[in-house]
Each structure stands twice: as C-alpha cells, then as structure tokens.
Amino acid sequence: MTGPGLLTALWLTPLVGALLVVVVPQSARRAARPLALVTSLAVLGVAIALAVGFDPGGDRYQFVESRPWIPAFGATYSLGLDGVALVLVLLTAALMPLLLLAGWRDVDGGRRAQAYPALMLATQALALVTFLSLDVLLFYVAFEAMLIPLYFLIGGFGTGGFGGGATDGSERARAAVRFLLYNLLGGLVMLAAVLGLYMYTDWARLGPDGRGTFDYRLITDAIADGRLQIPPGAMLLLFAGFTLAFAIKAPLWPFHTWLPGAAVAATPASAVLMMAVVDKVGTFAMLRYSLPLYPEAAATATPVMVTLAVISIVYGGVMAIAQTDLLRLIAYASISHFGFIVLGVFAATEQSATGSALYMVNHGIATAALFLVAGFLVHRRGTREIGRFGGVQQVTPVLAGVFLVAGLATLSLPGLAPFISEFLVFVGTFAVFPVAAVLSTATFVLAAVYILWTYQRVMGGPVAPGLAGTPDLGLREQVVLAPLVVALIVLGFYPQPALDVIDPAVADTVAHVEGATR
C-alpha cells in the first residue's frame, strides 16, 4: 500500500483549481482565468516531473499508488503510469494552458467566465484519472464522469453556430444532448460488462480476501497464467460491452454521428479538448482494456473491428471533402484519423500498436493546431462557410501559414509528426491484414484532397468581400499556436524519445495478447 504521490497530485491539482476558480468572490472575478491558467501550468510542471523520473527500461507501471477504496467490492484507488499513458498525460497537460489562452475571450465576464475554465480543468482532471487508473471500476467512474463537464461545455458555452447555424442555443442544445445520449448508452452497456467481469473474478477468488477484484493487474495476470477462465461466449459479450463504449467515445463509424455537431457547437478550445484529449480515452482504452482483458474475444472480433476502422478512414475522408463548413470538415477528418488509430490497435502487431499510440499524440497536436487556427479565422469572419472565404493569405499571411502547416500535418506530410505514426500503423497492419492496409492508404489521397482544396478555396484567389481589413494573428494567438507548430516539426524529425517510452508498454501488451491466444 502506498500513499498519495505525484500521480494523485497530477489529477487533483486541476480539480482543486477548478473548485477555486468557481468560488472566487465577485469582487475578484477577473482573477478566475489567470488562476485557471496558473493551475494548468502547475499540472504541466507535475507532468514534466513524471516524464523526467520515468525509466523506459524499468517496471511497466511506475509511480504506483494503491489504497483501499471500496473494500467490500474489491475496488482500490490504484494509479500507475506506463509509457503509453505517459505520452497522453504529457499531451493533456501541455494542451490545457494553450486551450485556456485560446479561449480567453470566449466567454464574457460574470459567473460564466468562472464556470468555463473550471469545467475545462475538471474535464482535464477526469481524463488524467482514466489514463492513470489501474482499477477497472475507478476507470469507469472517471470515464463516465467526464460527460458532465463536457455536456455543459458544449451546451452552455458553445458558439451557437456561425454561418447559418442557430444562434439561440438550439444547435448547442441538440449537440450536447446527442453527445450525452450516445455516451451514456455506451457507458451503461460498459457498466454491465464491468459487473460481469467482477462476477468472474469473484468466482475465481482473485481478490486478496478471496473475493472478486477490479484490480487491472491482478486480472490480466490471472488471464495470462490461466487462473481466470471466462467462457468464450461470455468473454465476447464482455469485450463487446467495453469496446462499444470505447468506440462511441473514440468515435468509430457507425457510432460517430455525435462528433461533428458537438465539434461545431462547442467553442474551438473546448472542441479541441474533446477531440484531442477526451476522444483519445476511447482509443487508449481499447489498447489498455479491450485487448489484454479479453484477448481471445479480441482475436475473434478483430476482422469486424478492422473492417469498421477501414470504413471510418474512407467515410471520414469522403465526408470531409463534401463539407462546406470549415469546422465540420476538420471534425470529419478526425473521424478518418481515429479509424487509422483503431486499425493499428486491432492489427495488434508491435509496429501497428506503437504507431497507434504515437498517432494519438500526434493527432492531438495536429488537430489542436488546425482547429484552433480555423476557429480564430471563423471568429474574425463570423461564418464557418468555406464559400464565404477567399484570399485570406493576402490579408493574414501568418494565419494562412499556420493553417498550411497544420493542414499538411493532418495529411501526414513527411517531416511532420503524424507521418511516422501513420507509417508505422500502415507497415504493422500490412504484415497481418494486407488488404485492409492497402485500402487504408485511401486516407493519403482523401486527406490531400480535402486539405489542399480547402486551403485553395479559403486562402487562395482574390480577397473575398469583407475580408480586406481582417487582422492577422495577435500575440496571444501566436503564443497558443507556436508551440503546436514547433511540436509538429520536432516530433516529425525526431520522434525517438516518444517511441522509447511507448515501445516497452506496447510490447508487453502484444506479448500478453499473443500468449493468451496460443
């Protein structure tokens, strides 16, 4: 048993910060946003300390904390950090200060100006718990609790829609309700699967007291050495319960329909938090839970999951090409990329799974850069309609340049971060599913079409009426976007530090799955 440590400090800091932001007295409300920013920087400091202290060649889970939580049900407060979780923790911690700066003026003064950053910090705290949890029930609680702050961020603080969208809040309300209903459905199914898993651990007397347990490490060890035997039919149902919830969160086709509406109804900052961080919980959980907990069922379901992933890749790209709404286009592009991540996870080779884990990070950076710069442009123009732009590069060259770099990263141009992760997924998948790998290369062509065509329509040509006096990126916006662009370039040319920490965790997962299915 260990006491509170750095991992507890990591998630508790933003939660406490959110509470402090909410209770700031009326006379000091101007301090709410600076307080939230300072809190996010403190979280980043803790994340950096964890990264510095992490030993890639050491134990699988490091900085482990474990204390009793609900002893009667074998639930523990157990946290641990492996390489995949570490890179996602760093992504989450690094993005939050930038998102708070990006959304500095999204909400007017008053109580709303306190609630908005508080909800952002609360979402960050719960996302961090999902990456750190080594207890299945603890993971589930945080996984579901994230819905609450996100629901209010979408429904209460969104843009309401530019360019023909509803401005009375009806678009936000519909998007928020759809988001909530989809994810609640997945969560309810997962809860049944969590309880079913506990029942089997209870029958096997896996817990320290001879009863059931939710301890992830105990369960996976028992699966590996044969102490926990789950009938194939029951295992497939449990796998489906977990994976459905993760596929909705990711989102994977055909469970994706909530994302485009939520992305355009939310503010750009909260939309990036949703797509770059929260949605990664779904793909991370597939790698962390779906495969190791149910290896035989995962092997049985792999052809289905690979097929859905390929459909997501192609469907997301085609739908992105068809969009006339700039932000909705980026949302559909993300669906395509999530399909590529899921493909790598279920191909389940070391190369493909490593590529997927790295892709989660790189997609988060690229999407943050592209969506934020697009959001800045939409705010200036007052519309999301692509047809009402034109000649932007002549008026705002810095903004256009950042848009181009972020767009090229989205289409996985060599030398930018997403390229190496997409390449690893492709190579690793080709070894076991060559047809799926070949079909997935459609994403290269589709991405080139929707990114370059969009850039041509928005940035090229004559200056559209009403755009002549559009201001270029200001200092605050440059501070937000500069680190993202630098990260895209650095990780594009030198991804090895990230791969060094990801590889051992992925190798353990793949070895566990292969051993359990022999």
At residue 465, the pLDDT reads: 85
- Residue 63: what are its φ and ψ, rounded to 5°? 60, 35
Cα separation, 411 vs 464, in Å, equals: 26
At residue 169, the pLDDT reads: 67
**Element holding 238 (H helix, E strand):** helix 232-249
User: Is the model's pLDDT at 164 over the cut of 60?
Assistant: no
At residue 256, the pLDDT reads: 86
459 is written with which tokens? 């940035």
Tens-digit pLDDT profile for residues 251-265 = 899 988 888 888 888
At residue 224, the pLDDT reads: 84
Q: Is 517 helix (H, G, I), strand (E, B) or coil?
A: coil
Helices and strands, counts by H and E, the chain: 23, 2
Give 386's DSSP letter. G
Least confident of 130-134, 428-432, 442-446, 512-516: 512-516
Cα separation, 217 vs 136, in Å, equals: 10
**Residue pair 461/386 in contact by the 8 Å Cβ criterion:** no
Query: What is the pLDDT confidence band of residue 402, given thresholds at 50, 70 and 90?
Result: very high
**Residue pair 217/275 in contact by the 8 Å Cβ criterion:** no
127 is written with which tokens? 């996302």
Cα separation, 411 vs 422, in Å, equals: 10
DSSP characters over 412-470: T-TTSTHHHHHHHHHHHHHTT-HHHHHHHTHHHHHHHHHHHHHHHHHHSSSPPTT-TT-
Of residues 487 and 173, more confidence is placed in 487
Residue 231, classified by CB atoms within 10 Å of its CB into exposed (0-12), middle (13-18) or buried (19+), is exposed
Q: Side-chain half-sphere of 416: how many Cα atoms within 13 Å?
A: 19
**Residue pair 94/483 in contact by the 8 Å Cβ criterion:** yes
At residue 99, the pLDDT reads: 94
**Residue pair 265/487 in contact by the 8 Å Cβ criterion:** no
Cα separation, 267 vs 379, in Å, equals: 10
Position 154, amino acid: I
Q: Side-chain half-sphere of 465: how many Cα atoms within 13 Å?
A: 0
Least confident of 151-160, 171-180, 336-345: 151-160
- Residue 134: what are its φ and ψ, rounded to 5°? -115, 20
User: What's the residue count for the chain?
Assistant: 518
Query: What is the pLDDT confidence band of residue 517, given thresholds at 50, 70 and 90?
Result: low
Position 25, amino acid: P
Cα separation, 133 vs 332, in Å, equals: 30
Q: Give the residue among 436, 453, 434 at the shortest CA–CA distance from 387.
A: 453
Q: What is the mean pLDDT of the chain?
A: 89
386 is written with which tokens? 């692509």
Q: Give the residue among 74, 89, 45, 57 at the shortest CA–CA distance from 284.
A: 89
pTM of the model: 0.91
